[in-house]
Amino acid sequence: NAGVTQTPKFQVLKTGQSMTLQCAQDMNHEYMSWYRQDPGMGLRLIHYSVGAGITDQGEVPNGYNVSRSTTEDFPLRLLSAAPSQTSVYFCASSYQTRGTGELFFGEGSRLTVL
């Protein structure tokens, strides 16, 4: 009963380093997305995907790359980490965005950039 799995749960990076946050879902959901959560800012959409091979930018895409080669996986890449990217990141998926679809969230990845 895995749902949405994110790894790692915690990560500390130095400025300029790169890393990938992994996200996998086993519910055959077409829609997947990445959010960042910062104090006082709520949830902000970084990138999303409506199916394999299709990605699009959200509200705050700069500094992040994504790809969607399979239905199950949606990794988020930071190519050159900056302190402003210190945040908690959530991956979420849904079987649809319109209609009655609800989002299922992972447990979050806490990233600190020094």
Partner 1 sequence: GNSVTQMEGPVTLSEEAFLTINCTYTATGYPSLFWYVQYPGEGLQLLLKATKADDKGSNKGFEATYRKETTSFHLEKGSVQVSDSAVYFCASTGNQFYFGTGTSLTVIP
Query: 11 in helix, strand or coil?
Result: strand
Closest CA to 109 of 1, 13, 17: 13
Q: Pick the stretch among 17-25, 67-75, 78-86, 98-106 that binds partner 1 (CB under 8 A).
A: 98-106
Closest CA to 35 of 14, 67, 10, 64: 64
In this structure, how many other beta carbons lie within 10 angstroms of the beta carbon of residue 112?
13
Provide, rounded to whole angstroms, the least separation between the CB of residue 17 and partner 1.
25
Based on the shown chain and the rule CB under 8 A, indicate whether residue 54 belongs to the binding site for partner 1. Answer: no
Based on the shown chain and the rule CB under 8 A, indicate whether residue 30 belongs to the binding site for partner 1. Answer: no
Provide, rounded to whole angstroms, the least separation between the CB of residue 96 and partner 1.
8
Q: State the residues that interact with partner 1 by CB under 8 A.
A: 33, 35, 40-43, 45, 48, 58, 90, 92, 94, 97-103, 105-108
